[in-house]
C-alpha cells in the first residue's frame, strides 16, 4: 500500500510531479521495499 501524504494538494502539478518521482524511486529500488506493509509519499 502506498499512501500520499497530502491528498488535498494532489490537484497541484508540482505536488503530483514530486509524487511521481518518489514512486519511480520506489519502483527502481523495489527490492529494498519487499515485505514493507505500507509506504508513504510524504512531501513537504
pLDDT digits (tens, 9 = 90+) for 1-44: 777 777 788 889 998 888 889 889 888 988 888 888 777 776 66
For the chain, strand residue ranges (E) read: 2-4, 39-41
Statement: the pTM of the whole predicted model exceeds 0.75 = no
Q: Provide φ and ψ at 14, rounded to 5°.
A: -60, -40
CA–CA dist 4, 40 (Å, integer): 6
Instruction: Evaluate whether 14 touches 20 at the Cβ level (below 8 Å).
Output: no
pLDDT of residue 35: 85
Q: How far apart are CA 9 and CA 37, in angstroms?
A: 24
Amino acid at each position: 500500500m502506498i499512501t500520499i501524504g497530502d491528498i488535498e494538494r494532489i490537484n497541484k502539478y508540482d505536488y503530483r510531479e514530486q509524487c511521481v518521482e518518489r514512486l519511480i524511486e520506489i519502483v527502481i529500488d523495489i527490492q529494498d521495499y519487499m515485505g514493507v506493509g505500507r509506504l508513504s509519499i510524504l512531501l513537504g
